[in-house]
């Protein structure tokens, strides 16, 4: 008698994989895991280049076990990535479906963030094509996984940079505003802020007004702080580091202030051990999930357990889960 996985393996012969949205360290480790797990289970693996654009254009290439050798520890994505306007339309998604059918692909693994899953959700609803997602974004803003692939590496990069900035801030008794990525969520800012002892972390979640910030800085100075680092999340409603520094200056200009915008250096670099392991685990979960009949879900790890959540649920904002970090950052920065 055939078990469930055997039945799916029989019809699932070709699995495609793509990366979409902003690249994230660990995407290559995930691609490698998808390809090797597919081959391990007797399927053919196909790489789609340039994200959803490549899906529409039929930019496909067969990947073998050795095609993904020595990429485990490399940043970026060998499949390239893109944000694709065309895939936002029904017609674009229809063309992508057509290309998959022409190449006789049976299922698709998409690795990306919010925008990627929004596209995947519409695509799978409209076409019924089997899709599984993996959370690949430095922003960590997806529900359905405690951590996303790339977040650990990016946060460590920020911590390394801020530690260096601290040397100068301390030597010159300066106030630094450091702007970090995260689109509209404060995971990178709050985690790196806690890890570097920032005097304040300005994120959409932390609810610190400019007046509050001036008060925090003055209290710090009154209690003999010699240097202050304020981490600013790029998506802060008051603006980025430049705007917030300007607004602070307009109220109180006694600080010698400098600004650093870390920008895209946060997205590059070799993935950390945690990201390589997470990506490998999820890559296996994507293929084995498809083979056991899972569809239109994202694989994630919650409380160290493998879970699968529907796309509609994972794109929900998970900023509420930052409540604890907001409190910790506040308590420890006195």
Active centre residues (catalytic): 139
The string of DSSP letters for 6-41 reads: HHHHHH--EEEEEE-SS--TTHHHHHHHHHHHHHHT
Query: Considering the complex, what minimum distance in angstroms separates the CB of residue 79 from ligand F6P?
Result: 16
Q: Which is nearer to ligand F6P, 25 or 220 (CB)?
A: 25
Binding test (CB under 6 A) with ligand F6P, winner from 17, 22, 28, 281? 22
Question: In this chain, which of 138, 194, 208, 230 binds ligand F6P, going by CB under 6 A?
Answer: 138
| Binding flag, residue 186, ligand F6P (CB under 6 A) | no
Contact window for ligand F6P (CB under 6 A) among 93-101, 126-134, 135-143, 320-328: 135-143
The residues, any chain, with a CB within 8 Å of residue 146's CB and separated by 6 or more, are 300, 301, 302, 303
Task: Figure out which of the listed residues 32, 166, 236, 267 binds ligand F6P, where binding follows CB under 6 A.
Answer: 267
Rounded Cα gap, residues 334 and 330, in angstroms = 7
What part of residues 294-313 is at the interface with ligand F6P (CB under 6 A)?
Answer: none
What is the distance between the alpha carbons of residues 15 and 62, in angstroms, rounded to a whole number? 10
In this complex, which beta carbon is closest to ligand F6P, that of residue 22 or of residue 135? Answer: 22
The nearest distance, CB 185 to ligand F6P, in angstroms, is 9
What does the alpha-carbon distance between residue 276 and residue 3 come to, in Å, rounded to a whole number?
A: 31
User: Rule CB under 6 A: is residue 139 a binding residue for ligand F6P?
Assistant: yes
Helices 273-291 and 151-171 pack at an angle, to 10 degrees, of 160
- Residue 137 within binding range of ligand F6P, rule CB under 6 A: yes
Instruction: Out of 183, 225, 318, 330, name the contact with ligand F6P by CB under 6 A.
Output: 183
Instruction: Pick between residue 183 and residue 249 the one whose CB is nearest to ligand F6P.
Output: 183
Q: Tell me the site size for ligand F6P, rule CB under 6 A.
A: 11
Out of 35, 105, 162, 181, the residue judged to bind ligand F6P by CB under 6 A:
181
Helix (H) or strand (E) holding 61: strand 60-63
End-to-end CA distance of the chain: 66
**Spatial separation of the C-alpha atoms in residues 65 and 36, rounded to whole Å:** 6
What 8-state DSSP symbol labels residue 75? Answer: S
Count of alpha carbons within 13 Å of 197, Cβ hemisphere only? 13
Which range touches ligand F6P (CB under 6 A), out of 43-51, 131-139, 253-261, 320-328? 131-139
Q: Which of 26, 54, 182, 271 binds ligand F6P (CB under 6 A)?
A: 182
* CA neighbor of 99 nearest in space, from 16, 10, 21, 27: 16
CB of 183 to ligand F6P, least distance (A): 4
Q: Which of 149, 154, 131, 138 is nearest to 72 (CA)?
A: 149
Residues that bind ligand F6P (CB under 6 A): 21-22, 113, 137-139, 181-183, 234, 267
């Amino acid at each position: 008698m055939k078990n469930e996985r055997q039945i799916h393996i029989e019809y699932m012969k070709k699995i495609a994989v793509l990366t979409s949205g902003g690249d994230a360290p660990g995407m290559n480790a995930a691609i490698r895991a998808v390809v090797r797990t597919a081959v391990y289970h007797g399927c053919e693996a196909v790489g789609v280049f340039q994200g959803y654009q490549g899906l529409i254009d039929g930019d496909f290439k067969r990947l073998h076990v050795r095609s993904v050798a020595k990429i485990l520890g490399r940043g970026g994505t060998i499949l390239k990535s893109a944000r694709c306007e065309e895939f936002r339309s029904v017609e674009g998604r229809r063309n992508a479906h057509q290309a998959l059918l022409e190449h006789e692909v049976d299922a698709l693994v998409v690795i990306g963030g919010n925008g990627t899953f929004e596209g995947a959700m519409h695509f799978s609803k409209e076409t019924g094509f089997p899709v599984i997602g993996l959370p690949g974004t430095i922003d960590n803003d997806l529900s359905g996984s405690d951590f996303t692939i790339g977040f650990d590496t990016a946060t460590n990069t920020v911590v390394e940079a801020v530690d260096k900035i601290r040397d100068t801030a301390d030597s010159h008794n300066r106030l630094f505003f450091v702007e970090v990525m995260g689109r509209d969520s404060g995971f990178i800012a709050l985690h790196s802020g806690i890890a570097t002892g920032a005097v304040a972390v300005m994120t959409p979640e932390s609810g610190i007004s400019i007046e509050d910030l001036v008060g925090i800085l003055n209290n710090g100075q009154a209690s003999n702080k010699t240097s202050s680092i304020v981490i600013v999340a790029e998506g802060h409603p008051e603006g980025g580091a430049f705007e917030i520094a300007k607004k602070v200056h307009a109220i109180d200009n006694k600080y010698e202030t400098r600004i650093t915008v870390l920008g895209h250096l946060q997205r590059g670099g070799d993935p950390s051990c945690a990201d390589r392991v997470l990506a490998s685990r999820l890559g296996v979960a994507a293929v084995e999930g498809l083979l056991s009949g899972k569809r239109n879900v994202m694989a994630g790890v919650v409380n160290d357990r493998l879970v699968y959540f529907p796309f509609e649920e994972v794109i929900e904002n998970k900023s509420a889960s930052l409540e604890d970090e907001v409190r910790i950052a506040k308590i420890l920065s006195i």
